[in-house]
Amino acid sequence: MAAPLRGIAIAMAVFFALGAVVNLPAGRVLTGGACAAGTLAGLAAWAMVRRGASLQWSASLSFYAMALVVTALLWAGNGTRDYGLAGYPAVLFLGCVFLATAAYWGLAACVLVAVTLIAVAEINGLKPVPGPPTDFRALFNLWLIMGASAVGGRVLMQAVRSALTREQNLSGALKTSQERLSKLLSTSPNAIVVSRFSDGTYLEVNDAFLAMFGYTREEVVGRTSLQLGVWESAHERERFIAPLRDGEALRDFETRQRRKNGDWIELSLSAEHMDLDGVECLLISATDISARRAAERRAEFLSTRDALTGLPNRVLALDRLQQAMARARLSGGHVAVLHVDLDRFKAINDAVGRAQGDAVLRETCARLEHLLKEGDTLARIGGNEFLVVTPLAGQAEAKALGEAMLSAIDVPYDAGGRPLRVTTCIGVSLFPEDSPDAETLLLCADTAVHEAKAEGRARVCLYANVMGERVQDRLLVESSLRDSLTGGGLTLAYQPKFDVRSRTITGVEALARWNHAKLGSVPPSVFIAIAEESDLICDLGHWVLKEACAQIAQWRELGLPALPIAVNLSARQITPTLPAQLFSCARDRGVAPDMLELEVTETMLIARPESSRKVLEQVTRHGNRIVLDDFGVGYSSMAYVKLLHLNGIKIDRSFVADVVADRHDRAIVSAIVGLAHGLGLKVVAEGVETEDQLDALEELGCDEAQGFLLCRPISGERLASDILERGVGRR
Ligand code: C2E
Ligand code: MG
Ligand code: MG
C-alpha cells in the first residue's frame, strides 16, 4: 500500500509545483504561494508515508494543506482560471485522501462541496474582483474543468480502488506469509530478530531471542540493539553491519553480546536482507556458541598448559616472552629468562615414587611462584624443568632472583614424612643483552643451565657473551653435520682392542670422524655433543651402524679374518626401534649379529632404566653383544650391570691413566675386575698409553686393552693392510 501512496503524494507535489511555476512569475503571488504550500504538503505526505507514518496521518496532512489552498484561492478570488486551477488539484487531492481513508462517498461529497463553493463564489461575485460574472466563457471553462475534474477524479478513484483491491489481496497474501514467518520464528531454536536496516530498530523477535537475552517482547520491539546495549561496543556493531551494506548476506559472524542481566553470551550471527512492508530489514539469526567456545578455550588451554601443574608450557612461555620483549622494547627495559633444572630428578622420582615426585614438582612451583611478581611467567617445559620470564632492571637483579630460587628449592621437601633435599641449576639469559630473538634467548638460558651443571650442582649461571659465540658455532656445526650426513665428509676410524695376555686383536671400536670442507677436522667431543642435543645423533648413529656393517662385509670380501666391530650408541638411540634398525643394517650386508658389539654408557641407562633394559634385552637376545663404556665415571652401579645382561665393561681411561702411580685407582680397577668377573663379564681397559699400564692391567686381571700404545684409531683400509694382512695376531 505504501508504494502507490508514495506515488500519489509525489504526483500531488509535482502538480502543485507546476501551479507555483505558472502563477508566481505571472505575479499571482497568493495563488502561487498556495500552490507552493500544496507542493510542500505533497512532499511532506510522501516523506511521512516513506517513514512508515499511518495513512490517516499523511492523508489528513494533505487534506488540511489542500483546504488551505482552496480557502486561500477563494479568499483571493484571483479569477476563474485560478478557481479552475485550484479545483483540479482539489479533486486530485481529495482522490488521494479517498484512496488513503477509503471514505469514498464522504470525500466525494467534499469534492462536491468544494466545487460548489467555488461556483457559488464565482456566480455571486464573492471574489474581491469587482463586477458580476459576465464572463460566461470563463464560467463555462470553470464548469468544464470541474466536470472534467469530477470525471477524472472518478476515473482515478476507480483505478485506485482496483489498485487498492489488488493491494488488499497482496497484503492478505503478505499477511499469510507473515503468519508463516512468525510461526517459523516461534518454532526456531535459534534466536531470530527482524530489525530495520536503517537504524537497527527491532521490529520482531522470537521467543528464543527473549529467552536467550532475558527481555520481554515489549522491552525489545521498537528499540534498537544499541539502545538495549546488547553489543559490546558500537564499533563491534559496525563490524557486523559493514559487510551487509553491500547487500550481501552474512554468515557465522562470531561475537559476544550482553544479556539483560549483564552476562555475556557468545553468538554466531547470520543475517540477510528482507523487505517487510516496503521497509528494508535484516533477518538475523543468532546461535548460542558459548558451550562450543568454552570447549575450544579448554582445548586451547590444555594445548598451552602443563597438565600436572596447570602452568604454561613451552609454547605459551615463548609467546609470553615475546610479549614481554615487545613491552621492554618500548620502555627500554630488560627481560630475564631463568631456566630452572632440578638436579637428578629422575633418581628422586625412583627413590620416593611418582606420586611424591609430582608433589615435589607442585611444591617447587609454589615456591618459585612465591618469588615472582605479578605479570611474570612461570612455565613448566619438561619433567623437571621450569622457565621463568620476568621483566627486571638488569643482570644483578636476575642473578639475585636466581639465587633466591636456589635457596627456596634448597629447603628440604616433605616426602611422605621424610625430609628430601632437592638441588637445582639455573641458567639465565637477558633481553636485550644476549639476543633480540625469543627462541635464541631460550637457547641461551638452556646453554647457561648446561654450563651451571658442568660447573657443579646447585648454582646459577648467567649466559655470558662468550657463550653466544658457542651457540653460533653450535648452530653452524649442527647444520653442517646434517649436510655431511647426506653429502659426505663423515668417516669411521677403527681402533683395535687386544687380548692383554696374548696381545692379539679381538675386535675394533668404530669411532666417527668428521672432516668438513669449511670447518676442517672437527673432534668427536665437539660434534657428538652437538648432535646429542637433537635427534641428529640418531641419524648419525644409524649412519655409523650401516657403515660398520658395510666395513665388515668389505673385509669379508677381501678374504680377511672376521673381526667384530663395536659401535658407540647414544642414549637417544635406545628406543624400541633400535632392534629393528640393527637387524636391517646387519641383514642388508649379511653380517652375523655377534659381529656387532654395542657400547653404551651408564648415564643413558640411568635416565630410563626400565625402557632401556627392555630394548637392550631384545638386542642381546638377537645376538648382539653389549659393553658398558666409560665405567667408573658415572654411578658405577653393579646393579645396572646385572640388570642389563651385559657382556662386558670398559674401564674408563681416567682410572687407567693412574693405575700405576695411584694405589687407589689400582684398588678400584682391581675391585671392578673382581666384580665383573664374578658376574661373568669380560673387562676391557681403554686409554692404555704405556707399557707399565698394560703390565699393571695384566696383573690386575683385565681381559682386553685398547689405547694409543697398542694402536691409534686408523682408517678401515689401513687397518686391513697393516694388521689384518699380517693376521689377527700379536701387534
Ligand atoms: P669412547 O667411546 O670412550 O672412545 C674412546 C675415545 O678414547 C676415542 O676418542 C679414542 O680416540 C680415545 N682414545 C683411544 N685410545 C686412547 C689413548 O690411549 N689415550 C687417549 N687419551 N685417548 C684414547 P674419540 O674418538 O675422540 O671419541 C670420543 C668419544 O666420542 C668416544 O668415547 C665416544 O663416546 C664418542 N664417539 C665417537 N664416535 C662415536 C659414534 O660413532 N657414536 C657415538 N654415539 N659416540 C661416538
Ligand atoms: Mg666407546
Ligand atoms: Mg670410552
Per-residue pLDDT tens digits for 9-50:
787 788 778 878 887 887 777 777 777 877 887 788 788 767
* pLDDT of the residue at 70: 59
Q: Is residue 512 lining ligand 1, measured as CB closer than 6 Å?
A: yes
**Number of structural domains the chain divides into:** 4
Q: Is residue 166 part of a domain?
A: no
Q: Tell how far the Cα of 502 is from the centroid of ligand 1, in angstroms.
A: 24
Q: Considering the domain boundaries, does residue 80 fall inside one?
A: yes
196 plus 317 within the same structural domain: no
Distance CA 546, CA 589 (A): 9
| Ligand 1 lined by 511 (C-beta under 6 Å) | yes
| Mean pLDDT over the full length of the chain | 81
Atom 20 of ligand 1: nearest residue by CA position = 687
Confidence of residue 134 (pLDDT cuts 50, 70, 90): very low
Whichever domain contains 378, its CATH number is 3.30.70.270
Distance 517 CA to ligand 2 centre (A): 26
Domain presence at residue 299 = no
What share of the chain in percent tops pLDDT 70? 76
Calpha distance 550→537 (Å, rounded): 20
- Domain annotation covers residue 413: yes
Q: Write the residue with the smallest CA distance to atom 33 of ligand 1.
A: 568
Say if residue 20 is in the same domain as residue 143. yes
158: Cβ contacts below 8 Å, ≥ 6 apart: none
Instruction: Return the C-alpha cell found at 125.
Output: 461575485
Tens of pLDDT, residue by residue over 282-310, are 999 999 988 888 877 777 777 778 878 88
Inside any domain, residue 7 = yes
Ligand 1 geometric centre to CA of 43 (Å):
102
Q: Is the residue at 551 inside a domain?
A: yes
Q: What are the cell numbers at 297?
A: 578455550
Domain assignment of residue 434, given as a range:
307-463
- pLDDT at residue number 130: 36
Q: What stretches of 504-662 show up as alpha helix (H) in DSSP?
A: 524-532, 536-557, 578-589, 602-607, 609-622, 638-643, 653-657
Query: At which of 293, 316, 349 does a domain end?
Result: 293
Predicted confidence (pLDDT) at residue 191 exceeds the cutoff of 70: yes
> 604-628: per-residue pLDDT in tens?
666 667 788 889 899 999 999 999 9
Closest CA to 415 of 458, 361, 371: 361
pLDDT of residue 730: 45
Is 301 contained in some domain?
no
CATH code of the domain covering residue 251: 3.30.450.20
Choosing from 492, 509, 511 the residue with most ligand 1 atoms within 8 A of its CB, the one to mutate for a pocket test is 511
Cβ atoms of residues 114 and 70 within 8 Å = yes
Nearest CA to ligand 1 atom 42: 568
Question: Does residue 174 fall inside a structural domain?
Answer: no
Q: How far is CA 528 from CA 535, 547, 566, 570, 602, in A?
A: 11, 17, 17, 9, 17
Could you tell me if the CB of 578 is within 6 A of ligand 1?
no
Cα 633 to middle of ligand 3, angstroms: 10
Query: Grid coordinates representing 541?
Result: 648413529
Choose between 175 and 153: higher pLDDT: 175
What pLDDT is recorded for position 351? 80
**275 and 314 within one domain:** no
276 and 323 together in one domain: no
Q: Do 405 and 500 lie in a common domain? A: no
Same domain for 510 and 586, yes or no, is yes
Query: Ligand 1 within 6 A of 629 CB?
Result: yes
Residue nearest to atom 34 of ligand 1 (CA): 568
d(CA 62, CA 496): 118
pTM, rounded to two decimals: 0.47
The answer to whether the CB of 485 is under 6 A from ligand 1 is no
Q: Using one digit for the tens of pLDDT, what is the confidence trace for 532-583?
A: 877 899 999 999 999 999 999 999 998 888 899 999 999 889 999 999 999 9
- The residue that leads in pLDDT, 166 or 361, is 361
CB 569 within 8 A of CB 581: no
Query: Which residues, 6 or more positions from 220, have their beta carbon under 8 angstroms from its beta carbon?
Result: 202, 205, 209, 210, 213, 228
**Are residue 690 and residue 581 in the same domain, yes or no?**
yes
Instruction: Say how many Å lie between the CA of residue 687 and the centre of ligand 1.
Output: 9
Residue with the nearest Cα to atom 43 of ligand 1? 568
**What would the grid cell of residue 101 be?**
481513508
Q: Tell me which amino acid residue 249 is.
A: A
Residues 536, 618, single domain; the answer is yes
Q: In terms of domains, do 422 and 501 share one?
A: no
Domain identity same for 493 and 640: yes
Choose which residue among 549, 573, 686, 691 to substitute to test ligand 1 binding: the one with the highest number of ligand atoms within 8 A of its C-beta. Answer: 686
Determine the distance separating the centroid of ligand 1 and the alpha carbon of 512, expressed in angstroms: 8
In a shared domain, residues 424 and 289: no
More confidently predicted of 394 and 23 = 394
Instruction: Kindly report which listed range (208-222, 246-260, 388-402, 592-606) carries the lowest average pLDDT score.
Output: 592-606
Which comes out higher in pLDDT, residue 125 or 211? 211
- Which one of 509, 521, 528 would you pick to mutate in the ligand 1 pocket, going by the greatest count of ligand atoms within 8 A of its CB? 528
- Ligand 1 contact via 532 beta carbon (within 6 Å): no
Cis peptide before 128 (omega within 30 of 0): no
Looking at the fold, whether 152 and 257 belong to one and the same domain comes out as: no
Atom index in ligand 1 nearest the CA of residue 523 equals 26
